[in-house]
Structure 1
Amino acid sequence: MKIVDGGLLVVEQSPGTESELQRLLHDISFATTNVTTERDCLSKIRTSKPDLILLSLDELLIDVHSLIREILKIDADLPIILVSVNGDEEKLVSLLEAGATDFLRFVGGQSALLKYVIEKNIQRHTIQEDHFAAEEKLEDLNYKLGENLKILERDQQAGFRVQRGMMPAAPMTFSKVTFDHRIFPSLILSGDFIDYFKLLDGRTVFYIADVSGHGASSAFVTVLLKSLSRRLQNDYESLGLKTPGSILVWLNRELLQCDLEQHVTMFLGILDCDESTLEYSNAAQFPAAILSGDDRAEFLEIGGLPLGLYQTPEYDSRSVSLPIQFTIVMFSDGVFEIMPQQTLKAKEEHLLSVVKCGKRNVDALAEQLGIESTRDVPDDIAVFTVAGFG
């Protein structure tokens, strides 16, 4: 190792000719600067920033303890090697305790040992400097990361307020039918979405949707769903959509035109309170909606492909007569993630049994299924109920 930048600063009482120590340092190619006074030593440290200090204790007339203290005030990590022929052990210990980093008993002709000790101390100092630099860089990166996370969280919170504002009011009652919902996001923003609105002909459209993925990318798609809801509400007649299945075909076409990376599952129903009927269709939304009433509960099972994936999917529509008092209960598939049952079938059966036992409002369902008490849900969970009371 040849020291080029700062070099070595040698502090020794000059005999007027080149010392043995100076000669050996020259022979092993170390660039050196020699000083004899504390003032010159400290001045060189400030201006030249040496890599290492060699203190030749023999015949040195300055206060070495004081010198070490002053050196460390300027550079607390600068290596200081004590060199002596007959160093007093008690004094050497005292100087090492004061901040010197190493000691070499020098009797002349020890070029290999001298080179090794110097290089090891410089190497140790370099590693330490690199470590400190890395720590400072890491602290700076952590600070910047923390600031960026704060900005991201503020943006996400703003997005959450926007997303919450897009949701219909809950609970809301149309013609003796009450719609209620709650969404428990895994992150601040959610890919689960719910909407319901009246058509001009008096019927009510409602749906629960689950956008693939989590967080902001999925939440952005819910903004698109809300926009499509408004178009459907305002232009239903001109769009010529007669059934829930035809609505899903239209939604699929609109999503494909946006060239999204996400797909959407959805259960969609049209409620006719005058005729006490429910028409419904499903685009792979799972679990199936549960219809309860007249002391019974059953899944409204119907197949269908997700929205936004296939060019020409077909969606069946079914119709069911509703009792005077009924509840339609819907969940997003995130509910399965927190349920203790081992199989999917067992989880479905448990959902059905909870509804059969009379847990049919949103808060009661969330409490019974443990959603309310789960602190960090692994996936978005939506709970949506539509309840008619005659």
Structure 2
Amino acid sequence: MESDVSQLLLITDESPISAKMSAHYEQLYYQVLVAEDPVLAMPLLHKHAVHLILFFYDPNMPQQTALLKDMLETFEEIPLIVVTKVVTALDVTDLLAMGITSVFSLPLDRQQSLDNCVARHIRHAKLFFANRLYRQQLEQTNRRLNDSLAELERDQQAGRSMQQRLMPPEHTQRNGLTIQRHMQSSLYLSGDFVDHTSLADGSVLFYLADVSGHGASSAMLTILLKSLTRGILADQQLEQDQSVAIAGIMSRLNEEIMDFDVDKHVTMFMGLISADRSTLTYCVGGHYPMPVLYQQQQLNYLEGLGSSFPLGLFAEAEYQSLQQSLTDDFALLLCSDGVLEVIPNNQQEDQEAVLLDLLRNNGCNIDGLVSGLQLDKRQQLPDDIAVFSIEGNAHG
């Protein structure tokens, strides 16, 4: 940090001048360093934070001329005032051309003018040094910040890679069903997650989860969800002789998230398609918008909006299972609420109708939604987007 002390270096080989000028400037509250031998001047400048050099200069002394040039070259940022015997105006011009800050002539009969000049240039020098120090500190801070950002980016990329690896493939055939997913994150890591798995009886369990917030903490909770869901699912199948109750899974997930106390909540839609692909059993945990079902040339939202709370908000929340009959040509499309953020409409109740019309015109599938909203052309998104589709083998 720049000192508040104003320090000047007095260079003179005449002891009377040295004593007089030192006492004078110390009375003016300057800290005075004295070099009565010019050879000592450069070491003092290297060692101390000098704000101004006051040099009683004899141009007839080659050693002093050499010192003058060295100081101007090495410490050009320090104001240098010369007090010397001036013969002509050309002498002053030559000194100023060398880079001298100011020139005063001997005998010195303008002490007040010299004092004013010293005070002015010390103020300027201290401001210069303070700004330089601030700039250096800022550059160091920026370098550290850039290093931290680079490390954070590497961590985010590693987290993104891990999160992507934990998700199912983008296109899968499972138990006679065609399953696809499409994910776009607003940041490196996504708070949206999808997963599906085949059960021992031939049914297929799937879910779409949307964790509140963005970034690493939300992404970590999606990874935790996968582990918790698979663990709870395994417990249920063992306890209930291969049968699965998705409302029970949702309740257990709610309890686990509440126990973690992560200040996050999760909206989730979980579904179970029977082995014969004739029935969809599902549970809604605050998910919005509701999935869209296409079958027998009809396109509608599933019922159950608001049937229960998001996970992680209320310990006493209860979850209920709903059912929907399926035909061979069914197509089910789920999406996170990030899709609504890119629909050009401000009224939420109208957005559902707009989304339904878009799917009706472009097809109730991921390709239709992506092309209809031009998601593949968007470089930035206001929110994470997850789209998940399941189609029966007779669809299309």
Q: TM-score range by the shorter chain?
A: 0.7 to 0.9
- Counterpart CA distance in 2 for 1:165 and 1:149 is 24
Match of 2:325 in 1: 321
Q: Does the 8 Å CA contact 1:37/1:62 hold for their aligned counterparts?
A: no
1:30-57 deviation digits (Å, cap 9, x = unpaired): 4545557754543543455643212346
Matched, 1:357 2:361: yes
How many angstroms does 1:220 deviate by? 1.0
What's the TM-score once normalised by structure 1's chain length? 0.87
Pick aligned residue for 1:388 from 388, 392, 395: 392
Match of 2:42 in 1: 42
User: In structure 2, do the counterparts of structure 1 residues 314 and 47 end up closer, same or farther at CA, with 3 Å as the change threshold?
Assistant: closer
- Counterpart CA distance in 2 for 1:156 and 1:374 is 21
Residue identity opposite 2:268 in structure 1: M
- Counterpart CA distance in 2 for 1:198 and 1:23 is 93
SS state at 2:268 partner:
strand
Matched, 1:173 2:173: yes
SS state at 1:196 partner:
strand
SS state at 2:193 partner:
strand
- Counterpart CA distance in 1 for 2:171 and 2:339 is 21
User: In structure 2, do the counterparts of structure 1 residues 158 and 44 end up closer, same or farther at CA, with 3 Å as the change threshold?
Assistant: closer
How many angstroms does 1:229 deviate by? 2.4
CA RMSD of aligned residues (A): 3.0
SS state at 1:69 partner:
helix
User: In structure 2, do the counterparts of structure 1 residues 82 and 88 end up closer, same or farther at CA, with 3 Å as the change threshold?
Assistant: farther
1:318-370 deviation digits (Å, cap 9, x = unpaired): 21111221211111111222222222123221211121124333234223212
Match of 1:265 in 2: 267
Match of 2:162 in 1: 162
* Mean Cα deviation higher: 353-362 or 43-52: 43-52
- Counterpart CA distance in 2 for 1:351 and 1:112 is 83
Match of 1:279 in 2: 281
User: In structure 2, do the counterparts of structure 1 residues 359 and 91 end up closer, same or farther at CA, with 3 Å as the change threshold?
Assistant: farther
Q: Does the 8 Å CA contact 2:25/2:32 hold for their aligned counterparts?
A: yes
Which structure 2 segments of 5+ residues have no match?
none
Q: Does the 8 Å CA contact 1:46/1:74 hold for their aligned counterparts?
A: no
SS state at 1:323 partner:
coil
How many angstroms does 1:110 deviate by? 4.6
- Counterpart CA distance in 1 for 2:230 and 2:249 is 13
SS state at 1:376 partner:
coil
Residue identity opposite 2:353 in structure 1: E
* Mean Cα deviation higher: 87-96 or 337-346: 87-96
Matched, 1:114 2:114: yes
Q: Does the 8 Å CA contact 1:65/1:95 hold for their aligned counterparts?
A: no
User: In structure 2, do the counterparts of structure 1 residues 23 and 206 end up closer, same or farther at CA, with 3 Å as the change threshold?
Assistant: closer
Q: Does the 8 Å CA contact 2:192/2:336 hold for their aligned counterparts?
A: yes
- Counterpart CA distance in 2 for 1:229 and 1:35 is 80
Match of 2:250 in 1: 248
- Counterpart CA distance in 1 for 2:229 and 2:93 is 83
Residue identity opposite 1:267 in structure 2: F
What's the TM-score once normalised by structure 2's chain length? 0.86
Residue identity opposite 2:133 in structure 1: A
- Counterpart CA distance in 1 for 2:85 and 2:27 is 20
User: In structure 2, do the counterparts of structure 1 residues 300 and 4 end up closer, same or farther at CA, with 3 Å as the change threshold?
Assistant: closer
Match of 2:229 in 1: 229
